[in-house]
Amino acid sequence: MFAFKIRTTFFISLIFSLVVNAQSPGPMVTDRPDQTESSSTVPLKSVQIETGISMEMDQFESAFVDIESRVFSLASTLIRYGIHERVELRLGGEFISQKTEAGQSEVTTSGFAGASIGTKLYLFEEKGARPEAAVIVDAAVPIGKDELTPDRFEPGFLFSLSHSISETVGFGYNLGGLWPEGVNFIGRYSAVVGISANEKTGIFLEVYGEFPQNDRRQFLYDAGMTYQLQPNVQFDVSAGAAVTELAPDYFINAGISLRLPQ
């Protein structure tokens, strides 16, 4: 056991050393921690890993019973690989632990969930009033614990656009939708303002939500910050809350993004 711990620690240290000292082919732009996906793709043949943990809390009343739900997302990960100067492949997944209390009863469900596969295509760069733009096409994959995953592929799309307001301020927004099981269509939207506090630190403010056809709308806001330890290593923290009653009451989130050496 002691030898195993030494080998594991050495392996982790070696990988981290390679990552920290790797030469980045360009500025690292991530799709976390905000909900708005960036309008840029990762460089050709680059692997970018964006992962984190979060806790989501929701309280509501149903049939005269107070219900409290806590969802812990562990190792929520997106892997992005540049297969072309304008195209990246995207693989995602997460491990969820969900605890629901209703009156005197309590149910806990844990397992792998949220698997997804997709691609992002860079459309065009910013020019005058025209924003930088990309489109994401992806699908939830029926892999994981039955209670936490769909029974079939659930396709979706997202248009991502952004404007440079100044050298330190940017504005991005997304519009798209998905077709989950049992629902005709759910629209998705988000808008974020990002500010570069200095060369390594950024902050953001964001609103986002969904607009299902049955008008059970969700609207939330969040804020957070990023810190770029190295050109290819970035830490982040964020927190958000609901505006509408149907959305989760609040959440907190923290993570790290790495671009591996080519």
Per the CB < 8 A criterion, the answer to whether 162 and 174 are in contact is no
Instruction: Determine the pLDDT at residue 247.
Output: 82
Instruction: Determine the pLDDT at residue 7.
Output: 42
* Bridge partners for 77 per DSSP: 51, 93
**Other Cβ atoms within 10 Å of 199 Cβ, number:** 7
- 26 pLDDT band, cuts 50/70/90, is low
pLDDT digits (tens, 9 = 90+) for 134-175: 999 999 999 988 888 888 999 999 999 999 999 999 999 999
Per the CB < 8 A criterion, the answer to whether 41 and 135 are in contact is no
State how beta strands 201-212 and 65-84 pair: unpaired
Domain boundaries, the chain: 2-260
Report the distance separating Cα 65 and Cα 253, nearest Å.
Answer: 29
Cβ neighbours for 15, distance < 8 A, ≥ 6 positions apart: none
Instruction: Determine the pLDDT at residue 215.
Output: 59
Radius of gyration of the chain from its Cα atoms, rounded to whole angstroms: 19
**Other Cβ atoms within 10 Å of 78 Cβ, number:** 22
- 216 pLDDT band, cuts 50/70/90, is low
- 89 pLDDT band, cuts 50/70/90, is very high
Lowest mean pLDDT among 38-42, 170-174, 184-188: 184-188
Pick the residue with more confidence: 213 or 130? Answer: 130
HSE (side-chain half, CA atoms, 13 Å) at 156: 25
Q: Look at residue 11 and tell me whether its pLDDT is greater than 60.
A: no
Please state which architecture CATH assigns to domain 2-260: Beta Barrel (2.40)
Instruction: Determine the pLDDT at residue 18.
Output: 43
- 2 pLDDT band, cuts 50/70/90, is very low
Per the CB < 8 A criterion, the answer to whether 220 and 209 are in contact is yes
Per the CB < 8 A criterion, the answer to whether 143 and 115 are in contact is yes
Per the CB < 8 A criterion, the answer to whether 240 and 205 are in contact is no
